[in-house]
């Protein structure tokens, strides 16, 4: 039987890769995207054109904040699962544009929850972020840690999404999984992401900005590893709460005791120094970057590191693509898509 899924943000970086993966595995994907101008729309359209080549892809264009659109989706489309990836992304952008995050991440996510409720979906899966760990010091981050000290408004909206989803899971018995993504990178990435900025600047012979003077670590996660984990988690819906005890948490599961809800880290579980990430880009391009060292950016954190025991226990899978391999693939795509660094759109 064909699996039918609604993916929000299907023309986005992660949404595109996930949609393409599921389409290739014979899922029917209903893809919703607003094609907003947060970054180059031509890049989003190029992703979308690939998805539209599949006969099992249905495109819907519009914003999640539009209640009438969401109501129409509920009435006219059939799907068993929702994978909610649409969001206003970016830690730094949230400093100057917080209202964008309220509209997309809070109101938009509320409408997704209402959609999941009205359609009685078998599983709702939604994107959170490693940024919810905020000022936590204990590493690696695991799902049992408290997440009450967000360092950016972006992180605050994502933590709010988790709380909103938990309440709906409890009230309406909606099996729900929240992903906490750790620094995803790879081909077709967003122009506001670090690797994109580094490669673009290096090809233009311009300096790259390096925050906290390079004293940063990130649990870099290759995008195709991430989408494989999501597909596997789609089949691991949290069970209903009937008769449940606290044993799940004792066994390392983040499963709620009052709702069919859990949060799951998706990361490489192998932090990399920022300077080593830059060196990988330098090797791939065959040139040395000019470096502009800066203080820590407001809202940022010095390190991230995912405990992925729960992901492995649920799926048997562990992301593992090495940085050199992932960066090489990004650079190869970048040079091909942007004609060896000559940008189509400035």
Read off the pLDDT of residues 34-89 as tens digits, 9 standing for 90 and up: 999 889 999 999 999 999 999 999 999 999 999 999 999 999 999 999 999 999 98
Segment holding 83, helix H or strand E: strand 81-84
Q: Of the candidates 119, 117, 37, 26, which has an alpha carbon nearest to the alpha carbon of residue 78?
A: 119
Q: What is the pLDDT of residue 251?
A: 59
In this predicted structure, the answer to whether residue 2 has a pLDDT above a threshold of 70 is no
In this predicted structure, the answer to whether residue 136 has a pLDDT above a threshold of 50 is yes
β-bridge partners, 303: 217
Read off the pLDDT of residues 234-277 as tens digits, 9 standing for 90 and up: 999 999 876 554 555 545 799 999 999 999 999 999 999 999 99
Q: What is the pLDDT of residue 119?
A: 97
Question: Does the 4-181+223-266+306-319 domain belong in CATH 3.40.190.10?
Answer: no
Instruction: Compute the average pLDDT of residues 290-310.
Output: 94
Q: Where are the domains of the chain?
A: 4-181+223-266+306-319
Instruction: Report the percent of the chain where pLDDT is more than 90.
Output: 88
In this predicted structure, the answer to whether residue 135 has a pLDDT above a threshold of 80 is yes
Active-site option among 38, 54, 154, 185: 154
What CA–CA distance (Å, rounded) separates 159 from 132? 6
- The CB density around residue 288, as the number of other CB atoms within 10 Å, is 10
What's the CA angle centered on 162, arms 161 and 166, to 5 degrees? 115
β-bridge partners, 180: 128, 265
* Mean pLDDT over the full length of the chain: 93
What's the CA angle centered on 61, arms 94 and 91, to 5 degrees? 10
Two tokens, residue 133:
């760990």
Known catalytic membership, residue 101 = no
Is residue 331 within 8 A of residue 337, CB to CB? The reply is: no
Q: What is the pLDDT of residue 90?
A: 84
What CA–CA distance (Å, rounded) separates 188 from 239? 35
Band (pLDDT 50/70/90 cuts) for residue 300 is confident
Q: Return the DSSP state at 65.
A: T
Instruction: Report the percent of the chain where pLDDT is more than 70.
Output: 94
Any alpha helices (H) in 91-151, and if so which ranges?
93-96, 98-101, 108-119
What CA–CA distance (Å, rounded) separates 271 from 286? 24
DSSP string, 2-47: --EEEEETTTSHHHHHHHHHHHHTT-EEEEEE---TTS-HHHHHHH
In this predicted structure, the answer to whether residue 340 has a pLDDT above a threshold of 70 is no
What CA–CA distance (Å, rounded) separates 193 from 110? 27
β-bridge partners, 306: 141
Any alpha helices (H) in 139-288, and if so which ranges?
153-172, 194-203, 223-234, 247-250, 274-285
What CA–CA distance (Å, rounded) separates 48 from 29? 12
Please indicate whether residue 253 or residue 321 has the higher confidence score (pLDDT).
Answer: 321
Q: What is the pLDDT of residue 342?
A: 44
Read off the pLDDT of residues 142-200 as tens digits, 9 standing for 90 and up: 999 999 999 999 999 999 999 999 999 999 999 999 999 999 999 999 999 999 999 99
In this predicted structure, the answer to whether residue 318 has a pLDDT above a threshold of 60 is yes
Region of 69 please: left (phi>0), alpha (psi -120 to 50) or beta. alpha
């Amino acid at each position: 039987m064909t699996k039918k899924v609604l993916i929000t943000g299907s023309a986005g970086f992660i949404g595109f890769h996930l949609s393409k993966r599921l389409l290739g595995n014979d899922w029917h994907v209903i893809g919703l995207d607003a094609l907003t101008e947060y970054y180059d729309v031509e890049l989003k359209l190029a992703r979308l054109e690939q998805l539209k080549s599949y006969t099992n892809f249905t495109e819907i264009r519009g914003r999640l904040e539009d209640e009438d659109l969401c109501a129409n989706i509920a009435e006219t489309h059939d799907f068993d699962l929702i994978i909610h990836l649409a969001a206003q992304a970016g830690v730094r952008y949230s400093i100057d544009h917080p209202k964008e995050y309220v509209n997309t991440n809070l109101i938009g996510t509320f409408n997704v929850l209402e959609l999941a409720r009205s359609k009685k979906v078998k599983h709702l899966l939604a994107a959170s972020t490693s940024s919810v760990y905020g000022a936590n010091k204990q590493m690696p981050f695991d799902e049992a840690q408290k997440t009450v000290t967000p360092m950016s408004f972006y992180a605050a909206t994502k933590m709010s999404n988790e709380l909103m989803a938990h309440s709906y899971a409890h009230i309406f018995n909606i099996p729900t999984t929240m992903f906490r993504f750790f620094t995803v990178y790879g081909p077709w990435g967003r122009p506001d992401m670090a690797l994109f900025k580094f490669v673009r600047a290096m090809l233009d012979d311009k300096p790259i900005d390096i925050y906290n003077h390079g004293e940063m670590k990130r649990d870099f996660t290759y995008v195709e590893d991430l989408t494989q984990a999501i597909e596997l988690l789609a089949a691991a819906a949290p069970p209903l709460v009937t008769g449940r005890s606290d044993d799940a948490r004792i066994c390392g599961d983040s499963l709620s005791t009052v709702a069919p809800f859990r949060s799951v880290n998706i990361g490489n579980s192998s932090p990399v120094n920022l300077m080593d990430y830059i060196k990988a880009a330098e090797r791939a391009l065959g040139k040395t970057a000019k470096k502009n060292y800066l203080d820590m950016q407001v809202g940022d954190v010095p390190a991230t590191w995912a405990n992925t025991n729960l992901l492995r226990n649920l799926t048997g899978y562990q992301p593992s693509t090495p940085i050199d391999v992932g960066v090489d693939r990004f650079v190869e795509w970048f040079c091909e898509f942007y004609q060896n660094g000559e940008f189509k759109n400035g």
